Amino acid sequence: MYEKRELIGKVFFALAVLILIQMLVSPLTGTIINIDEYWTYSLVNLPFMQGMTVAVHDVHPPLYYLILYLFTPLGLDNLYLLKVLSVVPYALLMLVSAFKIRKDFRWRP
């Protein structure tokens, strides 16, 4: 029974890694944006104080917009940057999960 649970855990972790890869590659393949991305793009293009005033009333935490404001002066394509920065929390969660799983279950890469 333990071996089945371990196999299922490995399969789910592998799926999560594949989703992460897809999330990183999808901004490269097209410029289609949804309403939420358009809202974020518009908000980040506002002056900082005005944007933070609007962000306080949004469903996303203001820290998310603050992080986006910090990276927008890099001069990269803003839309691509916004999409990639949205993947960073997921990637960090995957990294923490990998270390935790490896420690708890002694998985070897």
pLDDT along the chain (109 residues), means of 10: 76 88 75 75 87 85 83 71 81 85 68
Would you state the structure tokens that stand for residue 8, as one six-digit string?
Answer: 């299922």
* Residue 103: predicted pLDDT: 75
- CA–CA separation, 26 and 28 (whole Å): 5
- CA–CA separation, 60 and 17 (whole Å): 24
The predicted model scores a pTM of 0.62
